[in-house]
Amino acid sequence: MSHTLPLPEFSHERVEVITGRRSGLFIAVALHSSVLGSALGGARLWTYPHWSDALGDALRLSAAMTLKNATAGLNAGGGKSVIGLEPGTVLDAERRRDAFLDLGDAVESFGGLYRTAEDVGSTMNDMAVVGERTAHVVGLPDSTGGSGEPAGPTSLGVYESLRAVLERTTGSADVAGRRITISGLGQVGGRLAVRLAAEGAALAVTDVNPDRRHLAGELGAKWVEPGTEHLVPSDVFVPAGIGGLLTDEVIDALDTRAVCGPANNPLASHSGAERLAGRGILYAPDFVVNAGGVIYLDHEAKQLGTRAEIMERVAQIGDTVRRILADAEERSITPLEAAEELAAERLRAGASALAG
């Protein structure tokens, strides 16, 4: 279930909202910024209480992509697309295909200023369908010469970020014996859980999909009921599902030393960063932590190195987190502020270059 959040401030270059002519579904494509280059951000397929919730998600996610791509050092702007389903909607194969053909038409209308990719609810195969209507799509299946899905690189970036956070809070980056709670066992959270379990972490996990409980058993992890995971004592809390999880109420009850995870926009409100800091909980900003997938997709599309070299670049996210945490401590600001200022600096430089 999506958390209903207020619409964010509108600071976007362009937003297209359509009813897919084939599928009849709500589709929003939000281009937040192309200052640093053609925007890159995935396509989310999700159920929302109301179409305005889907639009709000597209607006928030696209703005977060601008921050993500800027702090990652990419020559790419921020954008996002959302296919919104009404509660209870189940797509058959034909209507799903129609939805992504409709998305492809919408992406094509941006003339290359926005490139899409897979995201929550969508797959490489869906991107192949989008590719029938536009060339501005990345993350296509390996079998068609594409770069494949980005969950692996995203998971690597989260892992390296988590090590950086542990180093800051415990003095050691070693995950063995550390209590780590993962909320969400999808493509990224599941991969991360497998790696952490193999390295000896003490895991507590949950997911809104009860079918994921089997993974807890396979890994020897503790399963907790969704909605209670923040009450489990941990060294690091990893939000790896849908955004908006960290409400004021959850933050006030959160029993952890740090928050570090791949979920986009985990803070229900921007002030949540200050609230976490007030409780002495270290927060690694999501748009820094989860940038591995977009780094991978952007570098693969532009052929900026071999896959091994690109994965080395992804692993450097941990060093970026370290710099942001050190800067925040030195200046007595939150890590979120430090990360936003890093992004703003790059965006100002990009705007100046365009003006010149």
> How would you label 38-77 residue by residue, b for 16+ Cβ within 10 Å and e otherwise?
bbbbbbbbbbbeebebbbbbbbbbbbbbbbbbbbbebebb
The closest of 318, 291, 290, 292 to 307, measured between CA atoms, is: 292
Give strand pairing partners of 153: none
Strand order in the sheet with 258-259: 222-223, 202-206, 179-183, 236-239, 258-259, 282-283
Q: How far apart are CA 263 and CA 241, in angstroms?
A: 5
Residue 342: partners with Cβ closer than 8 Å, 6 or more residues away: 70, 71, 324
Q: CA 231, CA 114: separation in Å to the nearest integer? A: 40
Residue 235 CB neighbours (<10 A): 20
205 is in an annotated binding site: no
Residues acting as catalytic residues: 80
User: How far is the CA of 338 from the CAs of 11, 84, 287, 348, in angstroms?
Assistant: 21, 33, 12, 15
Question: What is the residue-wise DSSP string for 159-173?
Answer: HHHHHHHHHHHHS--
Three-state SS letters, 210-223: HHHHHHHHHHCCEE
- 190 annotated as belonging to a binding site for a ligand: no
Q: For helices 151-170 and 292-301, what crossing angle results, to 10°?
A: 140
Is 61 annotated to bind a ligand? Reply is no
Q: How far is CA 89 from CA 46, 49, 247, 257, in A?
A: 10, 11, 27, 39
Tell me whether residue 104 is annotated as binding. Answer: no
111 is in an annotated binding site: no
Identity of the amino acid at 8: P
Q: Was 303 annotated as part of a binding site?
A: no
306-343: buried (b, 16+ CB within 10 Å) or exposed (e) per residue?
Answer: eeeebbebbbebbebbbebbebbeeeebbbbbbbbebb
Residues of the binding site: 184-189
Residues of the binding site for NAD(+): 184-189
